Each structure stands twice: as structure tokens, then as C-alpha cells.
């Protein structure tokens, strides 16, 4: 296994909730209108310090997508997923972008998103654009 180089970001940073490894900048948020089974999720144009898992087909609320889970390189926890392919024309804008689930990251001000009971019970396991 090679050496691990971790990118340090400057500015308003989203970090892994478990190990504080930098993951993304606030200015790289493409959309905040996504949801997962644990609550809010943000779509980012760019994320760093993640490894990409196996591609798989997932049926989401907006249709079939090819996605891959993304893992923090600092601690190995799943922090979201990357859109590899979208099959509906209206969903193509997601390709190459990544979702970070808010309950798995710390916000730019160090805040954590706490999962509400409603999100656990009634939330989607996918996106909700």
C-alpha cells in the first residue's frame, strides 16, 4: 500500500464527524435540497480525502442511478456516495458529483447535524431533488 496524502483545505470546511479529516468546502456545495434515510444531505461539486467503493445500481426517489459509496480516508467511515451515472436526462447534472450526509460530517462552524426521529422513521434512503 502506498503513502496516504491528505489534502488540507482552507476556508469554510466540512469535515468527517469521526476523525475531522477535511472533506469539502462550503463553496463547493451544488445543492442542499437532498435527503437520505438519516436526514439532510448536500450535493458537492468536489470532495477530497475520500476513497470510492464499488459501483452499483440504486433505485432512488429520482430514478435509477449508478453510484459508489465514498469513505473517509482518515477513518474509513462511509460519508456519502458519488453519482457515477444517471439514466434519466433530467438527472444527468448529478454525474461526477458527490453526496455528503450531514449526520456524518461536521459543518464549517464545527456543528454537527443530529438525526431527528422523523428522519429515521420516515426518511428516504436516497435523494430527494
What is the per-residue pLDDT across 50-93, written as a single tens digit (0 to 9) for each? 999 999 999 998 999 999 999 999 999 999 999 999 999 999 99
CATH of domain 13-110: 2.170.150.20
Averaged pLDDT for residues 10-31: 95
pLDDT over 80 (residue 116) = no
Q: How confident is the model at residue 128 (pLDDT cuts 50, 70, 90)?
A: very low
Q: What is this structure's pTM?
A: 0.83
b vs e for 74-108, b when ≥16 Cβ sit within 10 Å of the residue's Cβ? beeeebbbbbbebeeeebeebeebbbbbbbbbbbe
CB 10 within 8 A of CB 96: no
Rounded CA-CA distance 23/105 in Å is 8
pLDDT score, position 86: 96
pLDDT score, position 115: 52
Sheet holding 105-106, edge to edge: 22-25, 13-16, 105-106
Q: How confident is the model at residue 37 (pLDDT cuts 50, 70, 90)?
A: confident
pLDDT score, position 66: 98
Amino acid at each position: 500500500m502506498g503513502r496516504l496524502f491528505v489534502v488540507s483545505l482552507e476556508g469554510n470546511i466540512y469535515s468527517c464527524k469521526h476523525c475531522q479529516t477535511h472533506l469539502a468546502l462550503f463553496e463547493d456545495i451544488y445543492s442542499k435540497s437532498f435527503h437520505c434515510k438519516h436526514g439532510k444531505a448536500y450535493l458537492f461539486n468536489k470532495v477530497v480525502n475520500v476513497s470510492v467503493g464499488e459501483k452499483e445500481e440504486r433505485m432512488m426517489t429520482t430514478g435509477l442511478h449508478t453510484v459508489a459509496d465514498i469513505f473517509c480516508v482518515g477513518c474509513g467511515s462511509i460519508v456519502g456516495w458519488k453519482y457515477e451515472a444517471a439514466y434519466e436526462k433530467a438527472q444527468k447534472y448529478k454525474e461526477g458529483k458527490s453526496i455528503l450526509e450531514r449526520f456524518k460530517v461536521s459543518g464549517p462552524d464545527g456543528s454537527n447535524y443530529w438525526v431527528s426521529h422523523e428522519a429515521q422513521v420516515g426518511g428516504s434512503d436516497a435523494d430527494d431533488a
